[in-house]
Amino acid sequence: MSDNHGNTPAAWTAVFVALVGFVVGGVGLMLSPVSMPIFWVGVVIVVAAGVVFVAMDKMGLHTSDH
């Protein structure tokens, strides 16, 4: 197992992007009436977080600077 435990730029960026996606999706569900387009935009942002993580990993940003 990695000794950095996710404390890398790639991991933090992916978590931040996913958090934004969850907030956007949650706002879409809380609107009255429920806004499914906003919810699906949030889902796309969450999926994009995975893509961002993989891209940053390939760029070598998934290593710790200890």
Q: What is the pTM of this model?
A: 0.84
pLDDT at residue number 17: 97
Number of domains comprising the chain: 1
d(CA 51, CA 66): 26
Q: Are 18 and 26 spatial neighbours (Cβ–Cβ below 8 Å)?
A: no
Tell me, yes or no, whether 63 lies in a domain.
Answer: no
Tell me, yes or no, whether 26 lies in a domain.
Answer: yes
Q: Which domain holds residue 48?
A: 9-58
Q: Are 57 and 2 spatial neighbours (Cβ–Cβ below 8 Å)?
A: no
pLDDT digits (tens, 9 = 90+) for 2-42: 566 668 888 899 999 999 999 999 999 999 999 999 999 99
